[in-house]
A and B are shown apart, each in its own frame.
Chain A
Amino acid sequence: MSDELPERDADKALAGEYALGLLPSDEAAVFEQRLVNEPELRALYAEWCEDLAALTDRIDPVAPPPRLQGQVEAALFGAPAGKSGGMGWFGVFLGGLAAAALALGLIFGADLLPRGPQAPADPAYVAEVAAEDGSLVVAAAYDAEAGELFVDRRQGGPREGRALELWLIAGENAPVSLGVLPGDAQAALAVPQDLRPQLAGGILAISDEPPGGSPTGAPTGDVLAVGPITNT
């Protein structure tokens, strides 16, 4: 935004816009990245959250229906859901949760809620997928138990209007997609059952693709970063 505010004021305004959820998604992503590294910005954001929360002071409390608590606890703890439980409802909940999680990154600071799953404590394999010039660096760690590859984009990102897609190259095989890296820097990608045995000794690569990933099932754009998968 170029309305010529001094830097400190610009950040103050920016943190307010972020707290209100007004930033365009690209600017929100940049802001979230900065939140991670800039305590002052985090403080500004926290101040705005406190200030704006006062806007709810006059909203009267309304008791939710009593069954809801049981449903929440059933979803969290797997206890019987009570008379209104059941898969239908649970399915709706899961859908809602996934949708909510999707949009969450636009609004929440990295410090307020985790932006993705945590790195596995005891990964079976790890890889550092990096561009030669260091402009793109993604650390990957495979959680064998969950069958998930945790990815942490530490440097760089997709080009404007493009996506980054992660590929597994096992031996002489053609690259197989492990999925498009989400906008969040950290994410867990589910590794299909049949690919899991191929991780050992394989290579991970990241290519530049159209949004949503390669339309052909093979890399179509530049290969930006490569890294071998190693045992821990």
Chain B
Amino acid sequence: MATRDDIEAWLAACTTGDRRAFGALYSATSAKLFGICLRVLDNRAEAEEVLHDVYVKIWQNAGRYQANGLSPMTWLITIARNTAVDRLRKRRSPPASMEQAEERPDPAPGPETQAIAASEGGRLSACFDELDEGHAQAVRGAYLDGETYADLAARFEVPLNTMRTWLRRSLLKLKECLSR
């Protein structure tokens, strides 16, 4: 298992054009990131394309890493998650209005979101437990299933603004718990 220092060193070396460092970084982290792409997209071919894009971005933006205050693995995970969610949302036809959103099939949470209960381990999980179950699902759904406010509003059968107020309050509750 590569350490945080390893990953930081590889990223730093990537900024100098060190291809071997990139290879090492890829070897150490690609399975984790591919797992995330697969989880979000649930489609192998798309996950492969996204993973490809993810590593191109990592190479091209390695120099941005140091400045952003994230741990290196978080930086990589965030790129993978965001790129996968972008792809997922592009695949779904975006609902132009709430009416349309309501006609769409219920965007059921992914299996993991449903089964996850207390599985993240540690702090985050405990804090999710303090949220209403639906609210915790909404946050997970947004992160892991790329659900938008329109998706979430349709799933929970509430108006969009209500959904947003809910979710914002849930985020604050989560944050309050996490910073205790």
Contacts and interface: CB of A to CB of B under 8 A. Distances in A.
Interface of A: 1, 3, 5, 9, 12-13, 16-17, 19-22, 42-43, 46-47, 49-65, 68-69, 71-73, 75-77, 92-93, 96-97, 99-100, 103-104, 106-109, 111-114
Interface string B111-149: 010001001111110000000000000011011101011
B49 A109 contact: no
Contacts, number: 180
A76 B17 CA distance: 11
A103 B90 contact: yes
Contacts of A107: 82, 85-86
Interface in B124-179: 124, 139-140, 142-144, 146, 148-149, 164-165, 167-169, 171-172, 174-175, 178
A112 B141 CA distance: 23
B10 interface: no
Nearest to A58: B119
B4 interface: no
Interface of A is mostly: helix
A58 B69 contact: no
A62 B35 contact: yes
Interface of B: 19, 22-23, 26-27, 30-32, 34-36, 38-39, 48-53, 55-57, 59, 61, 64, 67-71, 73-75, 77-79, 81-83, 85-87, 89-90, 112, 116, 119-124, 139-140, 142-144, 146, 148-149, 164-165, 167-169, 171-172, 174-175, 178
Contact of B124 (A43, A54, A65, A93): A54
Nearest to B165: A3
A82 to B, nearest CB: 14
Contacts of A5: 168, 172
A59 B31 CA distance: 10
Nearest to A43: B69
A76 B148 contact: no
